[in-house]
Amino acid sequence: MSLSHRSFVQAMVKDQHRLLAYVLAIVADDHLAEDVVQEAFTLAFERFDTFNDEDHLYAWLRETSRRKSLEMLRKDRRQPRVFDEKLLDLLEDQWRQVEVAESSAMMDALRHCLDELSPYSRQIIDARYGRGLTGDHLAAAVGRKFNTVYSALSRTHAALAECIQREIHRGADL
């Protein structure tokens, strides 16, 4: 039995950030990663009725994205390769295990930690990741100098990483 249209779309939306992170690890370029994921989603829509369930869809999306990423890197020799294909093959099983085990706990921890941020830190995170602003545009959006915002963003990243680790360990101890 194939996925319903609703389940199909929900699965793609739910997994888009995870898939984007995976592709970004391969291509090391935000725009190229977005292009790869968008192309994989387009191909998935064309093959909608061939997917049995969400796991089948995600496995297909990841493999297609991996192949498209490597294809684009071969075409554009200017793009640096973060990992070669053999290393990606070795990491594939590890990626799947970590992905399944930690994605839910990681998202819960991230939500909790974002709620603990100061209003200013939250404003910076929202502008940077919610609105995709960088550099001078990010500084202008929060009304501060570039160096000030860069320092605050670095401190916020460190605080989030520490908080997430703390929350995951706390969850593991329960």
pLDDT tens digit string along 49-106?
A: 898 888 888 889 988 998 898 888 777 655 544 445 555 555 565 555 555 445 567 6
The winner for highest mean pLDDT among 10-19, 103-112, 119-128 is 119-128
Lowest mean pLDDT among 7-11, 92-96, 107-111, 130-134: 92-96
> Average pLDDT of 24-37?
83
Q: Domains (ranges, CATH) in the chain?
A: 1-82 (1.10.1740), 102-174 (1.10.10.10)
Is 109 a residue whose pLDDT tops 60? yes
Contacts of 121 (CB under 8 A, 6+ apart): 152, 155, 156, 159
